[in-house]
Amino acid sequence: MQLLLCATVKIFLCPLGFELQFRLGPSLQGRKVMVHTNYPLEGQPFQRHNFHVLEWNYPSGKDDDSDKFCSLNLKIAGSYQYYFGCGTTERSGGGYIVVDPVLYCITIQTYLSKCLGHLDDWPDRLRVAKESGLFQVLLLLADQLAVNPDFIPEGQSYSWVDVGALVEKLRKEWNMLCITDVVYNHTAANSVWIREHPECGYNLVNSPHLRPAWVLDRALWHLTTRVAEGRYKAKGLPADITNDSHLNAIRTVLRQDLFPEIKLWEFYQVKVESAVEQFRILLQNGGKTGGKPGLKIVQDPQFRRYGNTVDMDSALETFCGTNFSTCTPCCFYDQAANCIVGNVVYERLADHGPKLGPVNRKNPLVTRYFTFPYQDMTLEQELQLLDQPDKSCHFLAHNGWVMGDDPLRNFAEPGSNVYLRRELICWGDSVKLRYGNGPEDCPYLWAHMQKYTEITAKYFHGVRLDNCHSTPLHVAEFMLDVARAVCPNLYVVAELFTGSEELDNIFVTKLGIASLIREAMSAGDSHEEGRLVYRYGGEPVGAFVQPSLRPLMPSIAHAMFLDVTHDNECPIQLRSALDSLPSSAIVSMACCATGSTRGYDELVPHQISVVKEERFYPKWNPAAPATSASEVGFHTGIIAGKLALNKLHQELAAQGFIQVYVDQVDADIVAITRHCPSTHQSVVAVCRTAFKDPKTHQYDTNVPPMFIPGKIEEVILEARTVDRHAGTYKKDDGYINGMPEYTVEIKEHIPLQDSTVVKQAGVTSKGRSEFVQEITFQKLTPGSVIAFRVSLDPKAQKLVGVLRHYLSQFSPKYRRGSTADENPPELCVFHRLMSKLTLADLNVLLFRCDSEEQEDGGGCYNIPGWETLKYAGLQGLMSVLADIRPNNDLGHPVCANLRQGDWLIDFVSNRLVNREGPLAQVGQWLGAMFNYMKHIPRYLIPCYFDAILVSTYTTALDAAYKLMSSFVQNGSSFVRHLALGSIQMCGVGRFPALPPLSAKIEDVPYRVNPITGQKEQCCVSLAAGLPHFSSGIFRCWGRDTFIALRGLMLLTGRHTEARNIILAFAGTLRHGLIPNLLGEGRCARYNCRDALWWWLQCIQDYATHVPQGHEILNCLVTRMYPTDDCEPRKPGEVEQPLYDVIQEALQRHLEGISFRERNAGPKIDMNMRDEGFSVAAKVDPATGFISGGNRFNCGTWMDKMGESEKARNKGMPATPRDGAAVEIVGLSKSAVRWVVELHAKGLFPYDGTKIHRDGKEVFVSYSQWNQQLQQSFEAAFWVSGDPKDPNEKHPDLVHKKGIYKDSYGASGPWCDYQLRPNFTIAMVVAPELFTAERAWKALDVAEKKLLGPLGMKTLDPDDMVYCGVYDNALDNDNYNLAKGFNYHQGPEWLWPVGYFLRAKLYFAKKLGQETYGQTVNLVKNVLSRHYTHLERSPWRGLPELTNENGQYCKFSCETQAWSLATVLEVLYDL
> Which of 1335, 1470, 1324 lies closest to 1395, judged by CA?
1324
DSSP assignment of 1017-1053 equals E---EE-SEETTBSSGGGS-BHHHHHHHHIIIIITTT
DSSP assignment of 1363-1397 equals -----TT--SS-TTTGGGTTTTSS-EESHHHHHHH
Nearest-10 crossing angle of helices 903-913, 893-900 = 80
> Which of 677, 673, 676, 646 lies closest to 660, judged by CA?
673
Report the alpha-carbon angle 216-217-221, nearest 5. 115
For residue 884, which amino acid is it?
Answer: I
* Burial of residue 997 (number of CB atoms within 10 Å: 0-12, 13-18, 19+): buried
Residue 689 to residue 697: CA distance in whole angstroms: 13
CB atoms within 10 A of CB 1266: 22
Q: Is 1105 helix (H, G, I), strand (E, B) or coil?
A: helix
Query: Which positions are catalytic?
Result: 466, 469, 567
Distance of CA 310 to the CA centre of its chain: 54
> Which of 904, 963, 980 lies closest to 938, judged by CA?
904
| Contacts with 122 (C-beta within 8 Å, 6 or more apart), sequence order | 116, 166
Residue 256 to residue 1383: CA distance in whole angstroms: 81
CB atoms within 10 A of CB 304: 14
Residue 1352 to residue 1358: CA distance in whole angstroms: 14
Strand partners, 1117: 1136
1106, HSE (Cβ side, Cα atoms, 13 Å): 23
User: Dihedrals φ, ψ of 397, to 5°?
Assistant: -75, 130
Residue 7 to residue 106: CA distance in whole angstroms: 33
Cβ burial 344-380 (10 Å sphere, 16+ → b, else e)? beebbeeeeeeebeebeeeebbbbbbbbbeeeeeebe
User: Dihedrals φ, ψ of 69, to 5°?
Assistant: -155, 155
For residue 370, which amino acid is it?
Answer: F
State the virtual CA torsion across 921, 924, 929, 935 in degrees, nearest 10: 180
Q: Is the dihedral of CA 268, 273, 277, 280 positive or negative?
A: positive
Helices (H) and strands (E) in the chain, counts: 41, 53
Residue 1417 to residue 1400: CA distance in whole angstroms: 11
User: Dihedrals φ, ψ of 635, to 5°?
Assistant: -95, 5
Strand partners, 201: 433
Percentages helix, strand, coil for the chain, rounded to the nearest 5? 40, 20, 45
Residue 461 to residue 448: CA distance in whole angstroms: 21
DSSP assignment of 73-121 equals E--S-EEEEEEEEETTEEEEEEEEEEEEPP-S--EEEEEEGGGS-SGGG
Residue 1363 near residue 1385 (C-beta atoms within 8 A): yes
| Contacts with 231 (C-beta within 8 Å, 6 or more apart), sequence order | none
Residue 284 to residue 937: CA distance in whole angstroms: 96
Q: Is the dihedral of CA 996, 1000, 1001, 1003 positive or negative?
A: positive
